[in-house]
Structure 1
Amino acid sequence: MKEKLVVVALVNANKGSEDLLRQGLMTLVEAAPKEPGYVQYDLHESIDNPGQFLFYEIWEDEDALNVHNNTDAMKAFGAKAGQWIQSVTLTKYKRLH
C-alpha cells in the first residue's frame, strides 16, 4: 500500500493581519476537498498565540500536493497573503506506524 504524504505547515501572521490571514486561509480550507488527491486538510489556530496557524494535511502523494500548490485558490491566496504573513514553515512527514 502506498503511503500518503503528511504535511504540517506553521503560518505566523504579521501583527494586525491576523483576521485577514485567517479569512484567507479559510478559503483554502473550503477549496481543498475538491482537489484531486485530497485526504485531509485541517486548519488550527494557537490558543496561546492568536495569529499562529497550523495546517495538518494529508495528500495521496507528492503529485497531489503539487496540484494543490498550483490551484487557482492557492494562487489567489498567494497574491494577497504576502503582506499578511510573517513566516511559514512547511514540513513533510511519512508515517512510521
Structure 2
Amino acid sequence: MTEPIVVTAIFFPAPGQFDAVHDALQPAIAAVHDEPGCILYAIHRAPDDTIVMIEKWESADLLDAHGAGEAVAALNASLEGKLARPVDVTRLVPLPAGTEIQGTL
C-alpha cells in the first residue's frame, strides 16, 4: 500500500498582485479537485499575504501525474509576471500521531 503525500505550496504574490494570484488559482483548484488521487487541494492566506496551498494525494505517482498535467501547466502560465519569486513546494510524508482522524491531515 502506498502512503498518502501531503504537499505545501507557498505562492509569493508580487506587490499589488495578491488578487491576481488568488484569481489565477481559482480555475486550477476546480480542475484539480476532479483529478484522480486528489484528496485535498485548498488555499489559505497567511498574515504576510503569501498564499499557502495545502494538498493531499493518495500516492506519489498520482501527485507526479498532477504535476505533469494540464491544470498545473495552465496555472503556471496564468501566474507569469504575478509572483515575486518562485513557488516554494514541499512534499511531506505524514507521521500519524494521536487519534486516527485528528492525527493526520
Q: TM-score range by the shorter chain?
A: 0.7 to 0.9
**What TM-score do you get using the length of structure 1 for normalisation?**
0.88
Shift, 1:32, TM fit: 1.3
Deviation per residue, 1:1-56 (Å, 9 max, x gap)? 4310010111110112111110111111111111011111111111x222x10011
Q: 1:7 is matched with which residue? A: 7
Distance 2:7 2:61 in 1: 13
Q: Which runs of 5+ in 2 are unaligned?
A: 97-105
Structure 1 unpaired stretches of 5+: none
Q: Give, as a single letter, the amino acid of the residue that structure 2 aligns with 1:84.
A: K
In the TM superposition, structure 1's runs of 4+ consecutive aligned residues that sit over 3 Å from their partners are none
Q: RMSD of the TM alignment (CA)?
A: 1.3
**1:72 maps to what in 2?**
70
Tell me which residue corresponds to 2:53. Answer: 55
TM norm structure 2: 0.82
Q: Percent identity?
A: 27
Aligned with residue 81 of structure 1, among 75, 79, 82: 79
Of structures 1 and 2, the larger Rg is shown by 2
